[in-house]
Each structure stands twice: as structure tokens, then as C-alpha cells.
Chains A and B, each alone.
Chain A
Amino acid sequence: MAPHPALGDFELAVLVALVALDEPYGAAIRREVSSRLGRECAVGAVYVTLQRLEDKGLVSSHMTDPLPIRGGRSRRSYRLTKDGERALHTARAVRDRLWQGVPVKARPA
């Protein structure tokens, strides 16, 4: 199996958002990432990251049908590929392993 490309923090947050959302498209992903990171994220940063993840083969995208409302628009919807799922699991395992046996309080006093 080929090694997974290393994931940055923001890339990881975007991948987690993709898993967490029922309908992962640009605006929803941006909101989810902002909420998880606790800071407002730029829509451009999210799209650049999504494109980079797509280049790495971790994410795929397609245009949805127009929404069934007046003037409804198509959305670019994203989903994790098998490689993306594997990369996410690996990233989580690495982080879990990193903290194993380290007696650090959740919040410093």
C-alpha cells in the first residue's frame, strides 16, 4: 500500500468536516471547519484546500442537480475517496499514538 501524504491541520479539519456533514458543499464545509477550529475561515482557504486534497486523490467532487426551489442553484458537492478515508484513519491513529501515556491535563491550570 502506498504511504498516505501527510495532512496539515487545516486539511485534516476539512476532511473531518466532510465526514461530519450530510451534505458537504462549500458553504457548509466552511461553517463546519470554522466551528471546529473556533475561528472564522475564509471561503477561499477552504476551496484551495479542497482542490489540493482533490489533487492528492483524497477527495472527489461533482456538481449536484439544481435545488428544487425557485432560482435554485447547483452546488459543488465533495466526498471522501477510499484513499481519503485511509489518510484520515492514519492521521487519527498517529495523533492517538502521540498522546498515549502522556499525563497532560486537558486545560492548563
Chain B
Amino acid sequence: MVALMPLVLAGTVADRELRDAIAGDLLEEHAERSVSAGRGRANWWLLLQLVHSFPYFASLSGDRDANGFTPQFIRRFYARLIAVIGIGVAVHLAVAWLHNSFASSAGVALSFLGGLLGACGAAYGAAVAVPAAPLAAALATGVVAAFAGAGAALLGDVTTFVPEWIALQSLLPFAALAGGLVRARQLC
């Protein structure tokens, strides 16, 4: 549970100083509760805190006035949402193009490499586009790409629904998450 916390914070709170302050506070209370009530109860408390705080964490990064989110923030939010979906579809098209090279074993390896790297890079771009919630944007990109890929295979030639193709689509969200993490943790 303690390992999950930085992931949630990295994906929702953009301000690094604030993120560290929140993480420190949660760890402090978790340590106190581990001593007084046991590690299991402390982990449960931390999980509830993360679940209850998730929407608040996300709103910490948005543009707000005294009455809530500003109209500019809402417009930017939807523009970014459309951008993320666009990136996801673009990744899918790239992967579909690579799918044509599935005929040979070397082509399969190339498709995997290209598809996963593409998802990773596109998710990084999505995380840059949505600094308020980089992990959520990255994951959305991966999921959109995977669903688009699976949907295209179902609607199109059923023979393209080979195990390698399914495996690649399943791995896209994880590759995207990795790209988002690189951005969220400011590794590069």
C-alpha cells in the first residue's frame, strides 16, 4: 500500500513540493498507526485515505476560483481529453500498420517493439498535454489504443485476431503507463 501511494500522488498532484508534503504526512500517520494499531489496519487506513482523497488531489492541480473550476480550465480539460483520445487512435493506427508485418517472426518482434515504444512515447506526450493528471492521461491513451486495436480486429478480418495481436493490445496500457510514469516522476 505504501508503494502505491507515490504512484497515486505522482499521477494526480502536479506540484512536486506539495506532493512531497502530502506523501510525508501520509507516511507519518501510517507509521504511527502501524505502531498503535498494526500494519494491516494502517494499510487499510492509507487505502481509504487515497480513495477518498483522489478527486481532491486531482482538483489541487486545476485552475480554480473561489466558486470552483474556471470556464478556461473546463475548456482546456476537454481539449486535452480530445488530444489524448487522438493520440490513442494514432497509436492504434501505427500498431495496425505494424500488424501487416506479422507474417514473419522477425516482423512480430518488430511490431511488438514498435508498438510498445510507440505507446510509451505517445503516453509521454499525453502526460505532457495533461500535467494535472499525467498518469491518468497516459493510461487513457494506452486503453484507447488497445480498445481501438481490439475493436478493429473484431470488425475487420477475424483471422487477424491472432494470440500475438491480443498480447500486444494487452500490453499497450502497461507501456503507456510506463511512458506516463517517466513523465510524472520527471525522469526525463
Q: Which of B11-35 contact A (CB under 8 A)?
A: 17-18, 20-22, 24-26, 28-29
Binds A, one of B59-67, B120-128, B151-159, B167-175: B59-67
Closest CB-CB distance, A7 to chain B, in whole Å? 11
Closest CB-CB distance, B15 to chain A, in whole Å? 10
Q: Which of A43, A44, A47, A74 contacts B55 (CB 8 A)?
A: A44
Pair B22/A47 contact, Cβ less than 8 Å: yes
**Residues in A neighbouring B64, C-beta threshold 8 A:** 52, 55
**B23 to chain A: closest residue by CB:** A73
Q: Which of A40, A48, A56, A74 contacts B60 (CB 8 A)?
A: A48
Chain B proximity mask over A15-48: 1 for CB below 8 Å, otherwise 0: 0000000000111001100000000101111011
Interface of A is mostly: helix
**B59 to chain A: closest residue by CB:** A48
Pair B57/A44 contact, Cβ less than 8 Å: yes
**Residues in B neighbouring A31, C-beta threshold 8 A:** 29
Interface residues of B (CB under 8 A from A): 17-18, 20-22, 24-26, 28-29, 48-49, 52-57, 59-60, 64-66
Interface residues of A (CB under 8 A from B): 5, 25-27, 30-31, 40, 42-45, 47-48, 51-52, 55-56, 63, 73-76
A sample of 16 inter-chain contacts (CB < 8 A) reads A26-B24, A27-B26, A42-B52, A42-B53, A42-B56, A43-B22, A43-B49, A43-B53, A44-B52, A47-B57, A47-B60, A55-B66, A63-B17, A73-B24, A74-B20, A75-B24
